[in-house]
Amino acid sequence: MLDRLVAIASEAGAVILDIYGRADVGATDKGDGSPVTLADDAAEAVILAALARDFPDVPVVAEEAVAAGQCPDVGHRFFLVDPLDGTKEFISRNGEFTVNIALVEDGQPVAGVVYAPALGLMYAGDRNGARISRSDDGVFCDWTPLAASPAPAAGLKVVASRSHMGAETSDYLAGFEVADLVSAGSSLKLCKVAAGEADLYPRLGRTMAWDIAAGDAVLRAAGGMVRCMQGRPFSYHLSRVPGDTAFANPWFVASGAFDPADLKKPTA
């Protein structure tokens, strides 16, 4: 399955890059105020057609389809798709946008790919581990294993949202010894933790399941973990946020191969 998801993400990435090179990417705002472009819709069409062909019995929950009121009934096994995560990054042309495809089984992300087409990076993870490949032409052959970092002996390397760094996140990080804080866009933050390039990624703000499931799958395959703020491992069962839509996420913290609670500063 993972090889097929890599190929599907690569195909969607090629469509995205074609539109990325245009002067007008057709950016508009959705009903919730978030941006959408021609690339979001075109990439999602490619992914939905390919998943329907290759995995016809697995329901697919995709961001733009849900925004249009099209959401299938899901059971214990379904795909989560964000065809263009980091649309703001796409519009600003900084390259930090991704294609996200994840398979969820019994609430857990068991396989996922995150493709950053402008950077030529493909991250993939399943029960056999996590890996990364770099390509300039959409072909991915040479893979390198990924391993999340163990608890650091000194301060934490933290990655945070480029577009959504708020006071709540700053307050949370005040409870840790932070050696370095960098920003990044899209689900690349989760992949940086999976690669051991960062130790911690807190997200104290609203996200949706399709935003993070693929990166979560890669991170877990690399030995890391995403936890809710109460310390429990993250799940993708429906309606986890009271009063919000079925696929809204609670706040979470992604970390390497350690529990962030063990590194918190002692309180006075």
| E-state strands within 191-248 | 200-203, 225-228
Q: What is the DSSP letter of 264?
A: P
Query: 87: annotated binding-site residue?
Result: yes
CA pair distance 164, 185, nearest whole angstrom: 9
Asked if 177 and 154 count as a contact pair (C-beta separation under 8 A), the reply is yes
The answer to whether 86 is a known ligand-binding residue is yes
Using CB atoms within 10 Å of the CB of residue 267, give its burial: 0 to 12 exposed, 13 to 18 middle, 19+ buried: exposed
The reply, when asked if residue 21 is annotated as ligand binding, is no
Question: Is 84 among the annotated ligand-binding positions?
Answer: yes
Q: How far is CA 99 from CA 1, 15, 23, in A?
A: 16, 11, 21
Tell me if 13 sits within 8 A of 5, measured CB to CB: no
Binding positions are 63, 82, 84-87, 211
Binding positions for substrate are 63, 84-87, 211
